[in-house]
Amino acid sequence: MNGSVSAPGKAILLGEHAVVYGKPAIAIPLPQVRAVADFRLNETALTIVAADLQRPPWQWDDSATVSSDPLASMAALTLQHLGICAPKGEITIRSAIPIASGLGSGAAVSAALGRAIAALCRATLSNAALNALVFEVEKLHHGSPSGIDNTTIVFEQPVYFQRGQPNHRISPTRRLDFLLADSGVPALTRESVAAVRQSVREEPARTNCLLDQIASVAVAALASLEAGDRMRLGELMTANHGHLRELGLSTLELDTLVKAAMQAGALGAKLSGGGRGGNIIALVEPAEASAVKRALQLAGAKRVLAASVGGG
């Protein structure tokens, strides 16, 4: 049996980092950049090939367990959950989601792999179960994730997410257009989350005040999204960039991209994801999108992606 399954990237619209501390945040899936897992039943032990991820092929053996390797961990956890032995076959993972750029590459690869293993085993794996498994892998390899990345990626829906609360899927009434611009600087979310944790320890009053301000912006943004108020949403995004900057999460490259987007007519712009590198996200009117894209390229963006949500 051969086939192909996948999972999208994601972008955080507002509320990153504060979401780790139980505050709300909003994220959208990026269906046009995906991790894809092609699977093929054969007579050899389960083999996972992921050349894009710069790693040698990995072959299952029955002593394989949750380990320091995210793919091996995902395979072991999925089979444990399904309660079956490893199937014979090969899974080839390709990903168009840049690594260490805040777009959810790790969670998307885990989700695609979980789906491929279930398909090879002809087993049913619900999105709720897959989400829990991907979250386990995120916890093993990314420190203390909030769960927003795996939730957005597995359900492939815009979410208003708060740890410990039921998922609130958002359907914006009006179409919203975004541009994501890559600073080209790789940055590990694990490290930026650890840096914020250190600030919480060393400067609790200031850091907690910023995290509270981010939470207020996310709450206000939900109302703007539901009301289709693009201007207000843009203002909130730019305000959120200021908070993240004060938390030490921006860089010269990210600030330059935010400024270029705003000067070219974006309604709002901010870094997206862990920060200290990776991408910015800008909200644009469709008529301004190509001017903003050009400005971002001139300001040094290594790649500009368009994304949209809502509006039926």
- Catalytic residue positions? 149
Taking the least distance from each CB to ligand MEV, the nearer of 187 and 257 is 187
Taking the least distance from each CB to ligand MEV, the nearer of 39 and 178 is 178
Residue with tokens 């007579």: 43
Taking the least distance from each CB to ligand MEV, the nearer of 103 and 283 is 103
Please work out, in degrees rounded to the nearest 5, the angle formed at the alpha carbon of residue 278 by the alpha carbons of 274 and 284: 100
Binding site for ligand MEV (CB under 6 A): 12, 16-17, 19-20, 102, 145-146, 148-149, 189, 193, 273-274
Taking the least distance from each CB to ligand MEV, the nearer of 38 and 156 is 156
Min dist CB 73 to ligand MEV, Å, is 17
Min dist CB 200 to ligand MEV, Å, is 13
Q: How far is CA 183 from CA 26, 49, 187, in A?
A: 22, 29, 10
**Does residue 95 sit in helix, strand or coil?**
strand
Min dist CB 11 to ligand MEV, Å, is 9
Min dist CB 251 to ligand MEV, Å, is 15
Give the DSSP letter string of 156-214.
Answer: TS-EEE-TTS--EE---SS-EEEEEEE-S----HHHHHHHHHHHHHHSHHHHHHHHHHH
- Within the chain, how many helices (H) and strands (E) appear? 9, 11
Return d(Cα 221, Cα 237) in angstroms, integer. Answer: 8
